[in-house]
A and B are shown apart, each in its own frame.
Chain A
Amino acid sequence: MKAKMPITLLAAGLLGATGMSSAWADYPERPVTMIVAYSAGGGTDVAARTLAPYIEEHLGQSITVLNKPGAGGEIGFTALAQAEPDGYTFGFINIPNLLAIPIQRDARYAMDDIDPVAQIVYDAGALSVRSDSEIDSLEELVAEAKENPGAVTYGTTGIGSDDHLAVLSFERKAGIKLRHIPFPGAADLRAATLGGHITMASMNMSESVDDMEAGNLRILGQMAKERWENASEVPTFQEQGYDVVMGSHRGIGVPAGLSEEVFATLSSAVEKAVADPEFQEKSLQQGLPIAYQGPAEFEAQLEVLNEELMQLWNDEPWAQTN
């Protein structure tokens, strides 16, 4: 392997020099690396490793998953942004983290350094209360918050997480103020909510739905355009009169500057992999809300979201800067 590398590089250089771009049709001719910006064994990693074999199948090359966790994803995203744009490195990207990091601090990558290839998962945000709570709908929540400003506490998986940003957006649209209690992760947040230590949890649908089915939590609303098929009884925020669509998107991105052919090969392999019935079945088992979007559609959505986040930050920065 090691010995082969320079030869490949040399060949690539020669081809590049002579302008024989058609030779790129051979892509991929060696194993491809997939960067995951979160720890092995976590939610994103499991999703990535579940999908990887299907991309392998349609790409015709093996994929090495490389975990580069840390700094809320920034380390992995930076590694992706700085990788050679040759199609041999792509990565899992998590939205809104990818967008929020450069907004809230001097990040080592910029949004323009990464091109989106596909959205794989959209896990809508949701607000849930314990099932013995008196709050039954968003309307009652808003009424309660207006009556006792600052008395309603909500937990999230941290400052600047999708859960946090979603509530900030909801607060603005509903004209209310809630008290934020950040937790280090979804597990601690669930424990605190189920134990009644906080009023409400802002968690993704996939993290809340099992507790709803078991009768432990009541989901007040889901932040999606349409109801998720696994929880079709939960109304969306828009249905209840609040235009909040936010959640956690997981998709695939590449370093900017890929040649068109390579980009097309990769994105069609990803599309086929997601459509693979076997993958669909596996993700259903794992409770992953699959929502495929192609490059153009995904990019357009990211731009809208980026606008919204920038506005949110300008009005009310969600993190302390120093």
Chain B
Amino acid sequence: MTAILTPVRGRQLVYRINPVAKLLASMIITIGILLSIDWVSASVALAFELVLCLWSGLSARRLLARTWPILVAAVFAGVTILLYGSPSGATYARFLFVHITDGSIEFSIATTLRVIAVALPAVVLFVTIDPTELGDGLAQLLKLPSRFVIGGLAGFRLVGLFLDDWRSLELARRARGVADSGKLRRLASMAFSLLVLSIRRGSKLATAMEARGFGGPAKRTWARTSTFGWPGAGLVIIAFLVAAVSIAAAVMAGSWNFLGSG
């Protein structure tokens, strides 16, 4: 079977940080960067992040494998703004709707850097999150209802089975002689079959969970403690510092522009 929910493990410090702290840290950095559209705050944050990547628990190769889609997206966003962004300052080129100016160049660099600066910590921190630990953290630290958290976790495990089901459905349709034409109709019918199969799997899983006392009257205990601890607190403090320093740098450089208002 295809496993989607394999445990994530490693020895580095980053694996000891509570997933909830990682969630908070990437939210703090994101908010800090999104407050202003300028290239100073984004590049300062990005510089910090790149240094912090040394402790991400990922090799340079895995880091690149996980982040290249972001790099591509960021460059595309930058080029789009370069060509079509609102014009201001000296004009360098003009062709139909394309209008490259001082303003659009600056805006384009700022956008590219910001896309990377926002996405990088999110991706890097989430790679090392173990779904089960995230569930523990959400339930124990953020006090989300256990039914919701456990249900989500158990349901997520079924996704791997659905991928296998989908492949079998595809082969079975070829075997039954109906795979030649009407691709759209076939996809719709496969989606329907998958829905039927997934409801059946889901109800079997629910029975198995119920038989193990899930949803019973007893107050649920947790076999694993989820504590924020120093590594988690440390990460959140670092995230605050990154956000604060990059904003301060932008304000001092005079490029700070709140939500693009300047």
Q: Do A and B bind each other?
A: no
Q: Using a CB–CB distance below 8 Å, which chain B residues touch chain A? A: none
Binding site for B on A (CB under 8 A): none
